[in-house]
Structure 1
């Protein structure tokens, strides 16, 4: 252990108090600096400060003081709430109610003065052991050469055995490498691979999900997903992917199925710039209320799982002495497999539903186009209706799949036509959404109550079918007035074989 103390200004880095932080956050830090207790800011916030990145998670070591006692005082003074994160260490989290500061978290861990060096040494990686004594805000404490590792873009364990204290650190190594667009130190990576079986069911699934989403949120996820696969850690997280290693290349797929699915992350990132600006912006937005995951991360995970149903549906048939590989129903089976995966990893219901939909419908964009025949308005409407709000995500998955499917029978012309089709579908969907938004502002030509009054139908499947078909006929321009809608409903009733 070295004990470097580096003046931040010497590296053109801002001191702690010169950061662009909400006023309440600055006041809280200043309050800690003025207190009699010795307090250190350590970990990710300091690392990101050095990298010039914004961070909202502040981890403090407080010397010889109760974390709960401190959090109680600060919660009263700064109008916040607190709770104990870890009963064993008494790590306590404070969150402020102030609108501009509520996304910030303040975690306090009490440490005895004589245990301070040991606390630094228990950290995971050197870049996360950087610290600042907040009474000396211009001095960076660097006990393990973390600043040099940041410069060299290397993720190195403080001590290799520290990784076994919390095997989630195996995955975090890849996440931090992705964050700085760097590499995992060879000794650290070898240790992870040698101890891969320590990454078992005891590792929190919720914490695994958080780390995965942060990797997939990056614009450079592919190389780190590839390294996760090469280390076998990816299959420890997703054992559902293991059977995909058995499916061989064929006339349309130049890679084994497992590698094809990982390759989609690469083709996603290489071709993301091709989609319309509005779609690019949407996929870069958060999927839900939290900053992570972004929608593009959800699509990337869909890419990884889009063919997960193929191993169980794989058949090789000989036709005219030529082998044909078939995977009938793999889309439906894959969607069901992912639902179980998502539940196991504690994904939100909305993420599970979206990725299941991406898998279920991933063949549909290319099934719309048959040769040189044009796609009918009715076919487009049904496609957009079935996929719904996930359409921009599905089309990006299709772009990635297109460019990862380059077996010997796939021509350059096939790829060009495929890209044209997908960009055409993006534009058609944009116009469809504009029409739907305009339609939502107007009174419907006929609603369910009016149809029941006109026909005598009761609520049920038959009524639902009529409403669905009527909406379709209106959407494609076959019906424009209320009279036309009433006439259409009466004709439709005559065709329905109502139960007695």
Structure 2
């Protein structure tokens, strides 16, 4: 019942499962006596090619070693006591577990009917809960509330699968998730929460996913800081509350930059998370002084709580801290902007544009939008002119020898100032760099006594 595809994309005689094609290499590598189960079976039956293949086999270790030999890959023992093994190769992951004694009972312990499916080697499908019917209806239905309760992460998975599969949450399932979310269940491990949220955020409909998390009461469990912005009006350029603006900014980002990185998606969603804690009212006007700095620190705490990883946390915090920078008014300012924020570009511009496009308040106008666009164009032109930081004109040892310095703070300041002078076009050769450093050093030497006299 599988239909195989050749490398050239031509079909060759074979079999199908419910009319869906199986990749040729999987047909050829199907382990003897194996069942394809869970999400892999679900995806195959809906016409998608899984990246993660879950196999139930008579001898997991032997099956894993056989497949690894065919793929020239390695076998990883996940749990030798229970007989769990993994093979990873060419962007695919194959997990092997023992065949269950009672297949239907095993399937009925899963989370949703569309995941309670198993494909046999002869192409038949075990479907004890009506998963094929729900698959056809594009409906996500729980097997039971008790099954959701058995693993609280399944609540989050309901939202994630609903969005990533574009399946409608069945009414009883939606009600059960909402009820359990408010029941005081213990939270799953933060790493598991992180993985589900990352899959959701990496989907093109990530903004809709955030809204669904809120509707199901899950945002309060996993990202409660976002909810502080609900009902908090902003005025000025904004027509949405702080929470709604963050979600709309994420939507605007993905409409314009569908390949946006995970860090950029997080930063866009959280860019104003500091506003509720910095809100002030002065002479009848709202202000959020320092919300970029507070938001960066808050986003760092949130992602560290989720075990987000140092690189991701640092990039998200840096993007949020910089999202309120004024755009340059001239070419020289654009070169300075690129030099100082090169590590964040062009992602920072994408965040700033999404932020701007998500705002449609009374202060927004076509003229202000055009002015903003011109500033962005200047930065993009400067970035295109010098896409990578050039090699230094002078090294640290040369500067120390030239000025009689030792390693320390002043040397670092001079090297940074020289790099910026080069970015601005003030110096272009090593000779000009030496002259610039000598002039700067002499000027600082002359200023020092005057500054000391003034401080007395």
- The 5 A counterparts of 1:171-210 are 171-197=156-182, 201-210=186-195
Q: Of residues 104, 109, 132 in structure 1, which corresponds to 2:92?
A: 104
In structure 1, the partner of 2:213 is 228
More deviation in 338-347 or 73-82?
Answer: 73-82
Q: Any idea what SS the aligned residue of 1:53 has?
A: coil
Q: Of residues 45, 67, 72 in structure 2, which corresponds to 1:50?
A: 45
Distance 1:214 1:132, change over 3 A: same
Distance 1:54 1:392, change over 3 A: farther
Distance 1:212 1:193, change over 3 A: same
- The 5 A counterparts of 1:287-302 are 295-302=260-267
- Report the Cα offset of residue 263 of structure 1: 1.8
Q: Any idea what SS the aligned residue of 1:95 has?
A: strand
- Report the Cα offset of residue 481 of structure 1: 2.3
- Report the Cα offset of residue 455 of structure 1: 0.8
Distance 1:192 1:390, change over 3 A: same
Distance 1:94 1:154 in 2: 30
Distance 2:382 2:155 in 1: 44
Q: Any idea what SS the aligned residue of 1:339 has?
A: helix
- Alignment check: 8 A CA contact 1:199 1:236 kept: no
Distance 1:395 1:201, change over 3 A: farther
**1:81 and 2:66 aligned:** no
Q: Of residues 355, 362, 371 in structure 2, which corresponds to 1:401?
A: 355
In structure 2, the partner of 1:93 is 85
In structure 2, the partner of 1:119 is 106
TM-score by length of 2: 0.87
Q: Of residues 388, 399, 415 in structure 1, which corresponds to 2:369?
A: 415
- The 5 A counterparts of 1:448-463 are 448-463=396-411
- Report the Cα offset of residue 431 of structure 1: 2.5
- Report the Cα offset of residue 344 of structure 1: 0.8
- Alignment check: 8 A CA contact 1:85 1:93 kept: yes
Distance 1:306 1:382, change over 3 A: same
- The 5 A counterparts of 1:10-409 are 11-14=18-21, 16=22, 19-21=23-25, 28-29=29-30, 32-33=31-32, 38-62=33-57, 65=58, 67-68=60-61, 71=64, 80-85=74-79, 90=82, 92-96=84-88, 101-113=89-101, 115-134=102-121, 136=122, 138-197=123-182, 201-245=186-230, 247-270=232-255, 272=256, 280=257, 284=259, 295-318=260-283, 323-364=284-325, 367-369=326-328, 374-377=329-332, 379-409=333-363
Distance 1:361 1:143, change over 3 A: same
Deviations 1:307-352 (A, max 9, x none): 111112110111xxxx211111111111111111111100011100
Higher relative contact order (CA 8 A, sep 6+): 1
Alignment gaps of 5+ in structure 2: 1-13
In structure 2, the partner of 1:426 is 380
Deviations 1:77-124 (A, max 9, x none): 86522222596xx2513225xxxx2533222222443x2211011111
In structure 2, the partner of 1:479 is 427
Distance 1:423 1:130, change over 3 A: farther
- Alignment check: 8 A CA contact 1:264 1:304 kept: yes
Alignment gaps of 5+ in structure 1: 1-6, 273-279, 285-294
Distance 1:200 1:398, change over 3 A: farther
Structure 1 runs of 4+ with >6 Å offset: none
Deviations 1:379-403 (A, max 9, x none): 3233223333321221111111112
- Alignment check: 8 A CA contact 2:83 2:98 kept: yes
More deviation in 144-153 or 202-211?
Answer: 144-153
Q: How many residues align?
A: 434
Distance 1:43 1:391, change over 3 A: same
Distance 1:419 1:54, change over 3 A: farther
Distance 1:361 1:240 in 2: 20
- Alignment check: 8 A CA contact 2:20 2:46 kept: no
Distance 2:185 2:316 in 1: 25
- Report the Cα offset of residue 225 of structure 1: 1.3
Deviations 1:13-69 (A, max 9, x none): 11x4xx143xxx66542xx22xxxx4211122222223333322111223xx46456
